[in-house]
Amino acid sequence: MILQVPSVAAAPLAPIVTWESLPADFVLPDDPVGNIQQPLLAAALTTALGSAGRIQHQMLIGSNFGLVATINKKTVVKAPDWFYVPQVHPIADDPIRRSYTPYLEGDPAAVVMEFLSQEEGGELSVRSTPPYGKLYFYEQILQVPTYVTYDPYEPSLEVRCLQNQRYTLQAADAEGRVWILELELWLGIWARTSASRSFIDEVTRTGCRSGATGLTCYA
């Protein structure tokens, strides 16, 4: 008689994450942006922070710039459409950054933002094996406290905050805005009827406006 014991699937091993410099010979991705609004919206986010007096020399704010982690001894790079790091170490020798490795070069990223493309999955993918999904990478590897996604095709805005190592969608207020603690501002959507399009709206406690592209910061 043969006794068969039901097999039990082994739990997946947690990835081993280390924080190492980007290898000098590593070829960074040069993917085109998903739509023409992305560079304008990313620039407007940075402009709004500057208008509110929130940008300091020790910060790192970037767009389509590689964030680096070493997972199971392999270099992994994701380039969010926009990100914010509160404090980084100054660069001693090379004045131009090719990439940014959290912890090794300064604070981890506090806010990451992606503008959704029409490709399946990408920015909301939880794929936990190479090539890692962006949501998985930001949530489980970089552990970014706030992950913002904006869909210019709907349009819609979603804000996820890290709670107990998992992202939780944040509810908007009565005006459709969500408070971003790390930036001390609100994010929402407003419609500019003259262009029949919607743009991201920033509202800070101090009050300012930067509306050249339709993305504003005001009291």
* pLDDT band at residue 198 using 50, 70 and 90 as cut-offs: low
pLDDT of 75-100, one tens digit each?
Answer: 999 999 999 999 999 887 666 788 99
pLDDT of residue 79: 93
Q: In which region does residue 175 sit, left (phi positive, over 0), alpha (psi from -120 to 50) or beta (all else)?
A: alpha
Mean per-residue pLDDT of the chain = 81
**Phi and psi angles of residue 113, each rounded to the nearest 5 degrees, phi first:** -130, 140
pLDDT of residue 127: 92
pLDDT of 3-24, one tens digit each?
Answer: 554 555 555 688 999 999 999 8
Q: Which helix (H) or strand (E) element contains residue 42?
A: helix 37-51
* Residues with Cβ within 8 Å of residue 186, at least 6 apart in sequence: 173, 177, 178, 179, 180, 201, 202, 203, 204
